[in-house]
Each structure stands twice: as structure tokens, then as C-alpha cells.
Amino acid sequence: MLARPLAAVSALSLAALAAFPATAQMQPRPTTVETDRAEVIALYAPITVAEVEAAQKAWGDALVAISTTHDREGHAAARRLAEQVIDSAYAYDMGKVLFKPTLTVAPQTFRTDREGALAYFVGGNSRFAGDTGFALGSWRQYAVENAGIVITGNTAISMGNVTLTNARGEQTTVDKTWGFVRGPDGRLRIMLHHSSLPYRPN
């Protein structure tokens, strides 16, 4: 699949993310059935490739939005947006998330809870003193190139490269694996996120 660069997020997009980040995922709604008593959401409806690609796009849009918000409105506003994005995009409300960020070291390599994920993205947590805020890197564009997507029922795994471009035009490419599960609201949530810099032999 070809990479799809994304333009910088507009002010309108930022407002929409800040108000309700889940809407930015633009994922197809799951199959629903109207009954006399309640609406039933098909939590185990098979995930589609389009849903995976929409979730990947939403993650990139959100990262750019957090970064842009930080540059324009400061750290507090970026943190508030990051909290909304994490709650919308990740499955921490369903249990542990297997999150290995790009720039973490032992003993805090893995961020299986919400606090650790938030610290990685925006810093400002004394318990994670080494975190400076990956999402605060003045990111302006995002592109993903999938090596493959494997779907098994209501879970899916993707692997490939993500390329980020900052405000100075500098690019960073990482190897990324995402695992998705359909959440209680029917939308995809990230349950696994592994990111690392490409290996470069001496």
C-alpha cells in the first residue's frame, strides 16, 4: 500500500479533535440491530481493511493536532488534547495495552497503563523523568506505508513504516506495529503498539 502524506491539520480539524477525538477516526459504524428494547452493537463484527486504515489515519491526525496545539496554545492545551486522544484511540479502559514507544529505556520501556502513555506523548510527569514529549516535536505531516495487515475477526494487526515531518521539513521514519480490537462503542482501539527506529548496521 502506498504512503499517503497528510496535510497539516486545519483549525477546524483541531477544534473537532479537541471536542471529540473519536469522531476523527471516521471509521464505519459496526453492524447494529434495532430491537424493541435497545440498540445492539455487534462488538464481534469482523474488522475491515478500511477501518484499520482509518484508525491509522486518525492516529496520525491526532499526533499532528497535539503537536500543533502545543506550538500554538502551550503545554496545558496539548496535554488536555492528548488525554482525549489516548482515551479515544487506545484500549486502556479495557485493560493493559502493550505499548512499546520508540524512545523509551528500561525500566520504563513498556507503557502498559494510561499514565505511562500520556507521559511519553507530552512529558511533564516526574515519575517518567526521561520523557520530554514525543508528540511535542512540531510534527506537521504524517504518512503510513503498510507492509501488511492481518485481520482475524474483531482483531487486526498492521505492520509497516510511519514517516513524520516536522515544521522544519525534517523527516523521521519508524518501524511500527499496531494491534486493534473493536471497543465497547464499536470503534477500533489500539491494544498493541510497537515502535522502533530502523536498524542501521555499522
Q: What is the pTM of this model?
A: 0.78
What is the percent of the chain where pLDDT is above 70? 79
- The pLDDT of residue 20 is 36
Judge residue 159's burial from the number of C-beta atoms within 10 Å of its C-beta, 0-12 exposed, 13-18 middle, 19 or more buried.
middle
pLDDT tens digits along 96-110: 999 999 888 888 889
- The pLDDT of residue 26 is 40
Residue whose C-alpha is closest to residue 153's, from 13, 22, 4, 43: 43
Strand partners, 40: 33
Q: How many domains does the chain have?
A: 1
Would 24 be classed as within a structural domain?
Answer: no
Contact criterion met (CB below 8 Å) for 73 and 22: no
Count of other CB atoms within 10 angstroms of residue 52: 21
Domain span at residue 122? 49-196
Tell me the CA distances in angstroms from 94 to 59, 114, 145, 184, 185, one per residue in order.
19, 11, 28, 9, 11
Tell me the CA distances in angstroms from 122 to 58, 75, 168, 201, one per residue in order.
18, 8, 20, 31
Would 163 be classed as within a structural domain?
Answer: yes
Would 40 be classed as within a structural domain?
Answer: no
Would 160 be classed as within a structural domain?
Answer: yes
CA dihedral sign of residues 11, 182, 91, 144: negative
Angle of helix 75-89 versus helix 49-73 axis, rounded to 10 = 170
Would 98 be classed as within a structural domain?
Answer: yes
pLDDT tens digits along 134-151: 999 999 999 999 999 999
Would 126 be classed as within a structural domain?
Answer: yes
In the block, cell 440498540 appears at 39
pLDDT tens digits along 44-80: 789 999 999 999 999 999 999 999 999 999 999 999 9
- CATH number of the domain where residue 91 is located: 3.10.450.50
